[in-house]
Amino acid sequence: MADQPTELMICVKCRRGQDLADDDRRPGQRLFDDLAQRDLPDGMTVKAVECLSNCSNGCSIALRGGDRWTYLYGNVDETSHSDEVLEGAAKYHNTTDGLVPWRERSELFKRNCIGRVPPLSI
């Protein structure tokens, strides 16, 4: 529920399969920069993380918070998926357990879930 905090974590090291020089601004960093400037629901934060270990399916994001399931998603496009990510994160944020009904999920969230981890207390 919205009274539980939610973290939207963005892998800023993701290259999204591109061959980039180490000093180039990576797609994951561009995705984070865009999402960090957006209006978020109260209790939701966007955090940069160094690696979500999903390099072949980047850009990658994770959602976690409170007593909810944690989700990892891949294949996020930094140029076209920002709105869809925030919509899905808001739906997650408004749950008590992190389980958004399948029919309410966007195609991005339906087709690109890499994994989910149960809450600490189940």
Which domains, from first to last, does the chain contain? 6-117 (3.40.30.10)
Distance CA 91, CA 22 (A): 35
Q: Is the model more confident about 19 or about 120?
A: 120
Global confidence as pTM: 0.90
Q: Is pLDDT above 70 for 12?
A: yes
Kindly list the strands in the beta sheet with 113-117, ordered across the sheet, starting from the edge strand earlier in the chain.
Answer: 44-49, 6-11, 61-64, 70-73, 113-117
The DSSP call for residue 6 is E
Q: What is the DSSP annotation of 55-73?
A: GGG-S-EEEE-TTSPEEEE
Q: What is the pLDDT of residues 48-99, one digit of tens each?
A: 999 898 887 879 999 999 999 999 999 999 999 999 999 999 999 999 999 9
